[in-house]
Amino acid sequence: MGCGSSSVPDVIIPDPTPGQKCHVLFKKTGMFAKDQNVFQDGDKSKKWLMMDKEGGLFSNPTYILENFVRKDGSKRGECLCAAKLKITECKSYGHEMHEDSDSSGSSSGEEDEPEVEVVKMKWAQAVKVQFFSDREMTKEIAQIKVKAKGKAKKITTITMVEDKDEEGNVTGEHEERSVQKDVKVKKVKYTITEMKGVEKEALPPIKLKGKPNKSAYKLEWEGDVFQAEIESNNWGSQEIEVKTSYENPALGMLMGYIIAKEISPDDIKDQVNIW
């Protein structure tokens, strides 16, 4: 299991039933934990389920949504839904570089102006998430694919710094570099590509509302499988709420959590590698 732990509640709430209207709150089991407690009706006094997470975004993480029905001596409950995530594409392209330096105006005894290199590029990422009905992840029930693209700038500032001895005499100079990145998301598309028992033309859509590059925004995911939202001032929060009334509510809960909390536009943007 992950770094956190979760004790069995005094009252074990029955598992969600097909089509049950569910409003759940995911909250970390501890400050630095990966695991999440799942509370019914968004009420922290109603601990209902637990989600066990292993790994990070670039290490093919896995997720287990389970109840608190544990056999004697076991620390695991019964698996209601499982998932594994994999980044299938991560690239940057269309690089353009220009330099901005101005040392012509420096006079004797003054330090040269820093040289600035700016590299502009485009980037693209693709993510696949598979969902399963069993802990062993052998019985696939759904699959989603996420495609994201955007623009980025890598800004490198190069400064020449004097080397001095213990008496303050200049003995030479060396180069110091500082690097900043500015990443923007142009488009993110979430698509359910497979679902057990559902024909491709009938696969439910996932609609994303909102613009992720605004200083004040709210992103909303809507669809038949789940509904979730996140505001800019709550990005990085240890909590998120998900709603579902899907025929497989455990799938709706887990899919909603992973999309809105693990691979939201902000999460994807934060992991863009432009170095």
pLDDT tens digits for 155-182?
999 999 999 999 889 999 999 999 998 9
Is 265 within 8 Å of 188 (Cβ atoms)? yes
**Mean pLDDT to the nearest integer, 6-31:** 93
Element (H, E) at 266: helix 265-270
Indicate the domain borders of the chain. Answer: 22-86+127-145+188-270
SS3 261: helix
Percent of the chain with pLDDT over 90: 65
Q: Tell how strand 47-54 and strand 36-40 pair up.
A: antiparallel
pLDDT beyond 50 at 43: yes
**Mean pLDDT to the nearest integer, 120-124:** 93
**Mean pLDDT to the nearest integer, 13-30:** 95
Element (H, E) at 133: none
How many H helices and E strands in the chain? 2, 12
In DSSP notation, 218-259 reads EEEEESSS-EEEEEGGGTT-SEEEEEE--SSHHHHHHHHHII
Q: Which residue in this structure is represented by tokens 């698509």? A: 191
Mark out the alpha helices in 108-230 (DSSP H runs).
none
Distances, alpha carbon 74 to alpha carbons 29, 45, 71, 133, 163, in Å:
18, 24, 5, 20, 62
SS3 201: helix
Q: Which of 192, 204, 211, 252 is closest to 228 using CA atoms?
A: 252
Using a cut of 0.95, tell me whether the model's pTM lies above it.
Answer: no
- From first CA to last CA, the distance across the chain in angstroms is 33
- Please give the structure tokens belonging to residue 202: 């009938």
Percent of the chain with pLDDT over 70: 89
pLDDT beyond 60 at 110: no
Summarize pLDDT for 54-99 with one digit per residue, the tens: 987 667 899 999 999 998 878 899 999 999 999 999 888 988 988 7
Res. 108 pLDDT band, cuts 50 70 90: very low
